[in-house]
A and B are shown apart, each in its own frame.
Chain A
Amino acid sequence: MSQHSVNADGHGQSHHDEHDDHGSLKAYVIGFIISIVLTVIPLLVVFQTSMNKTGVIITIITMAVIQLVVQLFFFMHIREGDGPKYNVMALIVGLFIVVVIVAGSVWIMSFNSVVQ
C-alpha cells in the first residue's frame, strides 16, 4: 500500500502537472495564519480602537475581501487546474452580479426612504 502510494505520488509529480495543483502543507499553513490575522484585525478595530464608524466599516469590509482572495488562492486553488479558466470567469460574473444586487438594493432602498 505504502509502496504504491509513493509510486503514485512520484508518478504524478514527474508526468502530470495537474496533480501538483492541490497545494502544499506550507501554502495551507500560510493561508491559515493569514486568515487568522485577517479575522483578529477586524475584531481589534471594532472593539479596541476609537476610529470613526465609516473608517471601521471600510477597514472590516476590506479585511473580509482580502480574506476572500486569500481563501480563493491558498485553499481553493482557483488559478490552478488544466484548460481555460472557466471557474475564474464564472466566479467573476457571479461576484459582479452579487455586487450589483447588494449595492443596487442598498442604493435604491435608501433613495426610497428619502422620497417618502
Chain B
Amino acid sequence: MQHAIDNGHPQHAAGSHDHGHHDQESMKVLGFWIFLVTDCLLFGTLFATYVVLKGHTAGGPTGKELFEIPGFVAETFILLTSSFTSGLAVLAMNKGKVNQLIGWLIVTAVLGASFVGLEINEFLNMVHEGAKISTSAFLTAFFTLVGTHGLHVSVGLIWMIGLMIQLKMRGITPVTRRKITVISLYWHFLDVVWIFLFTIVYLMGVM
C-alpha cells in the first residue's frame, strides 16, 4: 500500500524516475482517447440517422407528444452532477485518499444508476403508450440512439463497481490510478454525448 502510493517513483532525483512504466500507462490513456473518438463516430452516425428520420413518424406519435419534460430535465441534471462527482473522485485519488475516492465513486454510481432507472422508466412508459421501436422510423432511430447511450452508462456502472472492488483490494497503484483516470474520461464523455441528446433529441423534439 505504501509502495503503491509512492507511485512507482523510488528515486527522488529529478529526471531519474521510472519513466518506462509511466510512459506505458500514459500510452494506455491515449489509447482510451482513441477509443472515445471511435465512440464519437458511432454516436455521430446514430445522430445522423435520427436527424434524417426524425419526421418519419408513419402516423405514430411524435416527439412532442411523447417526451416528458420533467423526466429528461432531471436526467440531464443527474448526469451533469455525476460527471462532477467523478471529477471529485479523481481529485481524491490525486491526494492519495483511497476511502474518499471510493466514496465519490459510490456517489457517481448511485447518480448513474438513478439516471438509468429514469431512462428505463421513460422507455417503459413510451412502450405502454404504444410507441414501440417498430412503430415508426422515428422511434427506431430514437430508441437506438438513446438506448446506445443508456447501454454505455450501464456498462460504465458495472465497470465502476469492479474498480471499487479493485481499489478496496489493492489501493491506489499506478495501474488503478490509470484505470480511474480512464473511467472518469469515459464518464465525462457520456455526459457530453447526453448534452447533445438533450439538445437535439429532447429540446428540439418538444419545440
- A interface, CB within 8 angstroms of B: 1, 4-9, 11-12, 15-16, 18-19, 22-25, 28, 31-32, 35-36, 39, 42-43, 46-47, 53, 56-57, 60-61, 63-64, 67-68, 71-72, 75-76, 81-83, 86-87, 90-91, 93-95, 97-98, 101-102, 104-106, 109
Contacts and interface: CB of A to CB of B under 8 A. Distances in A.
A22 B91 contact: yes
Contacts of A7: 6
Given A76-B185, A94-B40, A9 B17 contact: no
B88 interface: yes
A4 B6 CA distance: 7
Interface of B: 1-2, 5-7, 9, 12, 14, 17, 22, 26, 29-30, 33-34, 36-38, 40-41, 43-45, 47-49, 51-52, 69, 73, 76-77, 80-81, 83-84, 87-88, 90-91, 93-97, 181, 184-185, 188-189, 191-192, 195-196, 198-200, 203-204, 206-207
A60 B30 CA distance: 31
A96 to B, nearest CB: 10
A1 B81 CA distance: 30
A8 B6 CA distance: 5
- Going nearest first, the 10 A-B pairs with the smallest beta carbon separation are A5-B96, A98-B44, A94-B37, A87-B33, A105-B48, A64-B199, A32-B84, A109-B52, A28-B87, A75-B188
24 contacts: A4-B96, A7-B6, A9-B95, A11-B9, A15-B9, A15-B17, A32-B84, A35-B84, A36-B77, A39-B198, A61-B199, A63-B199, A64-B196, A64-B199, A67-B192, A68-B196, A71-B191, A75-B87, A75-B188, A75-B191, A81-B26, A97-B41, A98-B40, A105-B52
A42 B83 CA distance: 19
Contacts of B198: 39, 42, 64
A97 B44 contact: yes
Contact of A5 (B5, B9, B200, B207): B5
